[in-house]
Amino acid sequence: MRKLIWGTSIVVVLGIIAAIIFTPKSDPTDFDYASLPVLGQTDAPVKIVEFGDFKCPACQYFSQQVKPQLEKEYIDTGKAAMYFMDFLIIGPDSETAALAAHSVFHQNNDAFWKYYDALYKNQPDEKLNWATPDYLLQLAKDNKIDVDYDKMKTDIEDKTYIKEVDKGSSTARKANVQSTPTLFINGKEYKGDFSNYGQLKEAIDKALAADKAE
């Protein structure tokens, strides 16, 4: 009986070990970085992708409290670059805000990030349908966003970049993104608390170390 029990135990243990060894690891998400708004140097060793919704209050927090720290320590120093993709989860006018931002991006990448900051700084209550074409256009003018405003108006009304907006949300769903903001570091989802800068810094430093080791 003892031999039977020991034999069974060994088989179970070996089965667990085999499951750990042979369970396929999830591959990093393959982003088309060249098609995305970028903040920082495109050849930076660490690439951070934010999935966001311009109506999302948590994204507002990230833009105002976390992004400035990332810029100072990693982006401005050339260690990391930040990219943005849409994941529309709040309301129907989340799409309108995304269309406006895409118009700005296609005219001026640097202006996109200024507009990104302006959108979050002036973000009303998420329950309101505030992201109207008139509001979004006036916000660009008030913040002296360096784009052609007539083109921006047309791009919003004609939904010029709707395929790009939809592609962002589709990519998010395929990557099993559940909320905004969600960050990916060199293609791998950051599972920690985005508001805990120390935890995020540790993940970025780990990615930097891995890049140097290659």
pLDDT, tens digit, 9 for 90 and up, residues 56-92 = 999 999 999 999 999 999 999 999 999 999 999 999 9
Residue whose token pair is 């499951």:
19
209 Cβ contact list (under 8 Å, min separation 6): none
Contact yes or no for 46/186 (Cβ under 8 A): yes
Is residue 72 classed as helix, strand or coil in its secondary structure? helix
108-136 pLDDT tens trace: 999 999 999 999 999 999 999 999 999 99
Question: For the chain, what is the mean pLDDT?
Answer: 90
Residue 54 lies in a domain: yes
- Between CA 41 and CA 110 the distance in angstroms is 12
> Does the structure show a pLDDT above 80 at 12?
no
Per-position DSSP letters for 161-198, written without gaps between them = THHHHHHHHHHHHHTT--SSSEEEETTEE--S-TT-HH
Q: Average pLDDT for residues 2-21, to the nearest whole number?
A: 43
Tell me the backbone φ, ψ of residue 19, rounded to 5 degrees: -65, -40
Q: Average pLDDT for residues 182-198, to the nearest whole number?
A: 96
Query: What percentage of the chain carries pLDDT values higher than 90?
Result: 85
- In single-letter form, the type of residue at position 140 comes to A
Is the pTM higher than 0.85? The answer reads: yes
Domain of 120, in residue numbers = 33-213
* Per-residue pLDDT, 99: 98
Residue 182 lies in a domain: yes
The CATH number that applies at residue 60 is: 3.40.30.10
Residue 14 lies in a domain: no
* Per-residue pLDDT, 103: 98
Q: How many distinct structural domains can be found in the chain?
A: 1
Residue 151 lies in a domain: yes
List the 80-86 sheet strands across, edge first. Answer: 38-39, 80-86, 46-52, 182-185, 188-189
> Does the structure show a pLDDT above 70 at 198?
yes
